Structure 1
Amino acid sequence: MPHTSPFGLLLVLCVLSGIDGGKVLVFPLDGSHWVNMKVLIEELHSRGHNVTVLRASNSWYIKEESPFYNSITIPNTGGFDEEFFGLLIGRLLKIRREGYSIWSRLQLEYEIIMMFKSMHEDMMQMMERMLEDKEIMKSIQDVQYDVVLADPAAGGGAILAYKLNIPLVFNVRWTIQGEGHFAIAPSPLSYVPVPGAELTDKMSFLQRVKNVMTYLFTWFQLAVIADPIFTSFCLKHFGPSVNYFSLFQDADIWLMRNDFTFEFPRPTMPNIVYMGGFQCKPAKPLPADLEEFVQSSGNHGVIVMSLGTLIAQLPQDVTDDIAAAFAQLPQKVIWRYTGPQPVTLGNNTLLVDWLPQNDLLGHPQITVFVAHGGTNGVQEAIYHGVPILGVPLVFDQPDNLFRMEAKGTAKIILQLWTVFLEALKEVLHNPSYKENMQRLSKLHHDQNRGAPHLRTRSFRMFWIEYYSIDVVLTLMVTLLIFAFVIAYIIIYVCVVLFRKKVKHE
């Protein structure tokens, strides 16, 4: 599989437009997804394309003014809630510290589900306002855009492309239905792990049962969260003949933000273009003060810690525990953190509001990356060959880090306050983590280097396993037994009550 650079992707967009200097309408998603989209926008601008970005009036990171694009601002009051994310992380860490209970975990999962439902409702309300604003729609139609470039984790891009009747290109890892492949590519559950199941492509029978159950639960979630919202919107504006899911499947090109150094081998489709790590670049020189701090580490090296775009601080007690652990190490530490200074902060630790993550990870002095497991950070670690100590918190982070752990490039910890120091020392001193990550990095940079990582498990499976017949039969028998037991209990109770009634009479 040839390695795809951003320049190849831009060539695809040029072909879609059919002319030099095409007009591109961008429908992005805020937050960390914007980091990826911004890279493509800047490259499109540098090659003479006219880019216009649709943004909500309350965007976090998508600025109204930019030298790289024009913008159309849609009035909006909902969307992402930074305060919610902070409270969510605090509650999750509290649950981990006090011990998991089924009830507390279900409550948290329910709140996350409702948050996504609210986000989808807000997105459709924004689309409603835009489609009903004749002035905005006329300004968009008058430009005669050549292509819509959209992030399908927000449902508006596909709807807008259909409304304007122009080609649609996705910058994608996730759609509103889940991981992108599951929307358009064959995905046999016998060896394609469902995100969230934390499984590899090599599954035992019980793991395949877990994979199918996770898929069914995911499908149920989507039926509750997304289907009613988008189905009713399409019915109102396009009639019963248009299915919202088909609008996503009809996208012309899927620019997939991963590749098979990260993904397990699986079936794909010819209109999927893999561009994993496209936002990663060779490291540039660090600012003078940061370079001086890095060089002061000597032979011990430097640890970089960042928990991503949305998580800049943690509960104070957790922060103090982490700082105390760092203080016991000979390595220097650069930690992106914006909260109150930990009382246990050591002289070897530098707190920063922002750090040039890509440039730091590419510095030869960096030894370990302490990360939450977001896709961007994981891909930058792969690109530069830096092993990971993973601290997964929410969303796709646990699954991303599980994939890295399965490849021997990362170690995952869930309890920051007990095993953080020991886990960090293991990644620092066990050479296998760095060796495995550097091997993965070589595959990423030269994807013509052999192909063992591209071989699927399908050819090594019996047909009963491949089609999950054994799993389906097991679940059916289990369901029948469960139904029989319930029916038996109901009949037994009815008989007992009837006999008591007869006896009383």
Structure 2
Amino acid sequence: MPRLTLVALVVLLFYSPLVNAGKVLVYPLDGSHWINMKVLIEELHSRGHEITVLRPSDSWYIKPESPHYQSITVNSTAGFDEESFGSFVTTMVNMRREGASLWTRISLEYELVAHFYQMNKQVIEMVGEMFENTELMQSLRNAKYDLVLTDPGIGAGVLLGHRLGLPLVLNVRWTIQGEGHHAIAPTPLSYVPIPMTELTDKMTFPQRVKNILYYIFTRIQIWYITDPNYKPFVHRYFGNDVHYMELFQSADIWLMRNDFTFEFPRPTMPNIVYMSGFQCKPSKPLSKELEDFVQSSGEHGIIVMTLGTLVAKLPEDIAEDIAAAFAQLPQKVIWRYKGKRPSTLGNNTLLLDWLPQNDLLGHPKTRLFVAHGGTNGIQEAIYHGVPLVGLPLMFDQQDNFFRMKARGVAKVLDIATVNKDNFLEALKEVLYEPTYREKMTTLSNLHRDQPMKPLDRAMFWIEFVMRHKGAKHLRTESYKMSRIQYYSVDVVAFLLAVILLVFTVFISAVKFLWRRVFSRSKVKRE
């Protein structure tokens, strides 16, 4: 009998994940954003949850088949096309190399604005087609999902979640209006820097002026890029009294892909859950060939270089200069690069189409990471305590590296002016100046010293939303208020009006009494 009881308990434990299994509908953002969304999907799958991923038919990284999820492919061109995106990146790099003139800066901003406008337009068109596809929408309703998990860098998942009436969890760093905190949390511009300003939380008066001007500029971008696409769509499907950002702000949980080892101190909200580095993990052993190459570096160690998932090659002259600089170092170099093999490449440098980034960064012989400044790569460098040399190319990468530079763990170069000499100088500075590694070790210790692993924290809150059908008790209703109400302009105006009225009545009463007393004294004298 005890043996049967033991068997029954084992069976019960084995099937226990399935008892509480939920159904999650995921609408991800392609490219590097998909890499971290995939981490959440795989972990949810391992816990017994059923995952369905919605993907455009031209998705680059999001595959239609996976052991971890089912997929629904929507016939659309709203995904990432490798060739066109590569062409866009090349254009951005070449424009930056033309110089630092005002015209070049304006041209760069225009290209970015045009790119994001077109991307938002395609997304809205795709969502409209989905909403009008009654068969698809009915099948999604019939599936009885517990929640929608989405990246608000595009609005499709948010719009779909509200259309289906499902709880909403965001895997967020950016929304369609910019950095995630700005959509949901109080953001005093006196000490919270606007992204891309390269400012810290300690600003002088001129820097606060700059911060305000950048904020106004971002509002103009939103007015041009986002409003024309989302406003009419939301008014059509959700009502004229609904602002599209209300749909984002009413999300139950915001899983924020950073924390305060990366972010400057700022106000936050109870439904913002920080999970910086959730994709990081202890390194695994390298392949024999790669381990042999690493070990051949001896006491000098290795340098790892990659420019992320979206950038496979550089202009040939820049690649030649980088290779020539690497060739002058005693360290071995592992460089993910798909472009033409540089003629200046040294015997110490190994070119690969793909490299196990996390496993290399966690290797004890890794001395330096040369990166483009994507959030994932920077967080893995922090986790493993590897100092950085930055070659930011576009989007938020310059801002990410500024934060690392401000903490003394990175040396940053401009892709427009990088050459063999200044690249070699930057490498040597970070390699041989011990403060870079010491400060990165301190940052790594701060990041790791927390009561719960970031991925476990994310899982807890996703499952919390499943169990309780949302997390309304953590969500502020301030997003429903107008700016006049939010900043209490109406209250201040009312109180000023009352004070003015009281003051007016008081002055009138004094005048009245004065006239009466004066008239009586005049009568007595007469």
TM-score bin, normalised by smaller chain: 0.7 to 0.9
Structure 1 Cα separation of the partners of residues 127 and 116 of structure 2: 17
Structure 2 Cα separation of the partners of residues 111 and 97 of structure 1: 15
Q: Which residue of 1 aligns with 2:478?
A: none
Structure 1 Cα separation of the partners of residues 93 and 129 of structure 2: 38
Structure 1 Cα separation of the partners of residues 85 and 407 of structure 2: 30
1:426 to 429, 436, 447: 429
Q: Which residue of 1 aligns with 2:51?
A: 51
1:445 to 444, 448, 457: 448
Whether the 8 Å CA contact 2:95–2:108 is kept in 1: the answer is: no
Whether the 8 Å CA contact 1:89–1:314 is kept in 2: the answer is: no
Q: Which residue of 2 aligns with 1:406?
A: 406
Cα RMSD over matched residues?
1.7
For the residue of structure 2 that corresponds to 1:100, the secondary structure is coil
For the residue of structure 1 that corresponds to 2:45, the secondary structure is helix
Q: Which residue of 2 aligns with 1:387?
A: 387
Larger radius of gyration, structure 1 or 2? 2
For the residue of structure 2 that corresponds to 1:411, the secondary structure is strand
Structure 1 Cα separation of the partners of residues 67 and 348 of structure 2: 39
Q: Deviations over 1:161-204 (max 9, x none)?
A: 11111100000000001000000100100110111111110111
Distance 1:64 1:88, change over 3 A: closer
Structure 1 Cα separation of the partners of residues 380 and 413 of structure 2: 20
1:396 aligns with 2:396: yes
For the residue of structure 2 that corresponds to 1:54, the secondary structure is strand
Between 163-172 and 133-142, report the one with greater CA deviation.
133-142
1:416 aligns with 2:402: no
Whether the 8 Å CA contact 2:98–2:104 is kept in 1: the answer is: no
Distance 1:77 1:318, change over 3 A: same
1:436 to 432, 435, 439: 439
The structural deviation recorded for 1:279 is: 0.2
1:37 aligns with 2:40: no
Structure 2 Cα separation of the partners of residues 180 and 206 of structure 1: 26
The structural deviation recorded for 1:84 is: 4.1
Structure 1 Cα separation of the partners of residues 94 and 123 of structure 2: 31
The structural deviation recorded for 1:138 is: 1.3
The structural deviation recorded for 1:264 is: 0.5
Distance 1:19 1:106, change over 3 A: farther
User: What's the TM-score once normalised by structure 2's chain length?
Assistant: 0.80
Between 435-444 and 234-243, report the one with greater CA deviation.
234-243
| Matching residue's letter, 2:343 | V
Structure 2 Cα separation of the partners of residues 206 and 378 of structure 1: 30
| Matching residue's letter, 2:344 | T
The structural deviation recorded for 1:155 is: 0.1
Distance 1:241 1:19, change over 3 A: farther
| Matching residue's letter, 1:292 | D
For the residue of structure 1 that corresponds to 2:345, the secondary structure is coil
The structural deviation recorded for 1:344 is: 0.8
Structure 1 Cα separation of the partners of residues 76 and 58 of structure 2: 6
The structural deviation recorded for 1:28 is: 0.4
The structural deviation recorded for 1:405 is: 0.2
Distance 1:141 1:106, change over 3 A: same
Distance 1:87 1:105, change over 3 A: farther
Structure 1 Cα separation of the partners of residues 155 and 19 of structure 2: 28
Structure 2 Cα separation of the partners of residues 261 and 289 of structure 1: 35
Whether the 8 Å CA contact 1:199–1:207 is kept in 2: the answer is: yes
Distance 1:271 1:121, change over 3 A: same
| Matching residue's letter, 2:447 | H
Structure 1 Cα separation of the partners of residues 80 and 46 of structure 2: 30
Q: Deviations over 1:129-163 (max 9, x none)?
A: 11111221111111111100010001011111111
Equivalent runs, 1:471-482 vs 2, <5 Å: none
Q: Which residue of 2 aligns with 1:464?
A: none
Q: Deviations over 1:64-100 (max 9, x none)?
A: 0100001111001244343344334434444444422
Equivalent runs, 1:126-141 vs 2, <5 Å: 126-141=126-141
Between 409-418 and 114-123, report the one with greater CA deviation.
409-418
Q: Deviations over 1:211-236 (max 9, x none)?
A: 11111101110111001111111111
The structural deviation recorded for 1:114 is: 0.6
For the residue of structure 2 that corresponds to 1:369, the secondary structure is strand
Between 210-219 and 95-104, report the one with greater CA deviation.
95-104
Structure 2 Cα separation of the partners of residues 79 and 67 of structure 1: 22
| Matching residue's letter, 1:171 | N
Q: Which residue of 1 aligns with 2:321?
A: 321
Q: Which residue of 2 aligns with 1:80?
A: 80
Query: Where in structure 2 are there 5+ consecutive unaligned residues?
Result: 1-17, 452-486, 488-526
Q: Which residue of 1 aligns with 2:215?
A: 215
Structure 1 Cα separation of the partners of residues 84 and 107 of structure 2: 15
Query: Where in structure 1 are there 5+ consecutive unaligned residues?
Result: 1-17, 449-466, 468-505
Between 74-83 and 336-345, report the one with greater CA deviation.
74-83
Q: Deviations over 1:84-134 (max 9, x none)?
A: 443344344444444222212211210111100000000011101111112
For the residue of structure 1 that corresponds to 2:230, the secondary structure is helix
Q: Deviations over 1:387-415 (max 9, x none)?
A: 00011110000000000000001010112
Whether the 8 Å CA contact 1:171–1:254 is kept in 2: the answer is: yes
Structure 2 Cα separation of the partners of residues 165 and 139 of structure 1: 14
Structure 1 Cα separation of the partners of residues 383 and 357 of structure 2: 12
Whether the 8 Å CA contact 1:390–1:412 is kept in 2: the answer is: yes
User: What's the TM-score once normalised by structure 1's chain length?
Assistant: 0.84
For the residue of structure 1 that corresponds to 2:298, the secondary structure is coil
Whether the 8 Å CA contact 1:80–1:119 is kept in 2: the answer is: no
Distance 1:90 1:57, change over 3 A: closer
Structure 2 Cα separation of the partners of residues 48 and 142 of structure 1: 20
Whether the 8 Å CA contact 1:187–1:266 is kept in 2: the answer is: yes
Structure 1 Cα separation of the partners of residues 319 and 210 of structure 2: 35
Same amino acid, percent of matched pairs: 65
Q: Deviations over 1:318-359 (max 9, x none)?
A: 111110110111100000001111111110000000011011
Distance 1:30 1:96, change over 3 A: closer
| Matching residue's letter, 2:418 | L
Structure 1 Cα separation of the partners of residues 72 and 186 of structure 2: 37
Equivalent runs, 1:13-162 vs 2, <5 Å: 20-162=20-162
Structure 1 Cα separation of the partners of residues 284 and 36 of structure 2: 19
For the residue of structure 2 that corresponds to 1:419, the secondary structure is helix
